[in-house]
Amino acid sequence: MTNRAPIFLAIDTSDLKTAQKLAADVSPYFKGIKLGLEFFMRFGSDGVRSVLKAADHDTKFFLDLKFHDIPNTVFKSVQNTLDLKPDFVTVHAAGGTEMLKAAVKAVENTKTKILAVTVLTSLDDADIKTISGKTVQQTVLDYAAIAEKAGVHGLVCSPHELKVLNQKLDSHLDLIVPGIRLHADNTDDQKRIMTPIKALENGASYLVIGRAVTQSDQPALVAKKIAHDILEKETKVA
């Protein structure tokens, strides 16, 4: 996995064959794949296994179900994902300290890491102020502080919060970043976005990229180019 870019491909589809082909096409270039609610609600655990089987054997797996419920329910729900051996599972930081601790406890003695989702990239300051009365950055920092104290292994945040989080948090936390767009991309329903190289320069551990690849006529070629550009940049910096 040494020559793959630190990217998870977001495979958001209700078509199993499409998901399998995308996993096979992209896994030589990206370190992992991400499957979320749309796919999981259609195909469940068996569908996940079939997609992982189509990918290279050492491809990382990010299960993005964003659990948010009472602590006992989240504990049992996270436990129920462990048969799939995910590298990452998401919960909402807004669930609070006890829920986050329950999620972390559920993955003890496994390879699975818990990621706390801070503020979705589809939201901006105007949206968040109607909920919390604060800015996005203030809300992300509040959630991050709660999540870090609860012992989570990483955070999901937009690229725009990377610098301040890297200043405020312990360096051991993974920062997983959606809202990544290429220069020519439509922003779609995302508001806080950034290019891949810029996000990595700002301190992202991993990027999540979806439509730029999955909606392309040649997803393997697009993934190869993105990975090449990132790895070439990292080589020059090194």
Catalytic residues, by residue number, are 66
**Residues facing 154 on adjacent strands:** 115, 174
The helix, strand and coil proportions of the chain, stated in percent and rounded to the nearest 5, come to 45, 20, 35
| Tokens at 162, concatenated | 């990377």
**Does residue 104 sit in helix, strand or coil?**
helix
DSSP secondary structure code for residue 132 in this structure: T
The full DSSP string for 56-75 is -TT-EEEEEEEE-S-HHHHH
**Residues facing 177 on adjacent strands:** 207
Rounded to the nearest 10°, the torsion over CA 13, 19, 21, 27 is 120
CA distances from 33 to 25, 91, 108, 150, 156 (A): 11, 18, 23, 26, 15
Q: Tell me whether residue 122 is exposed, middle or buried, using C-beta atoms within 10 angstroms of its C-beta: 0 to 12, 13 to 18, 19 or more.
A: middle
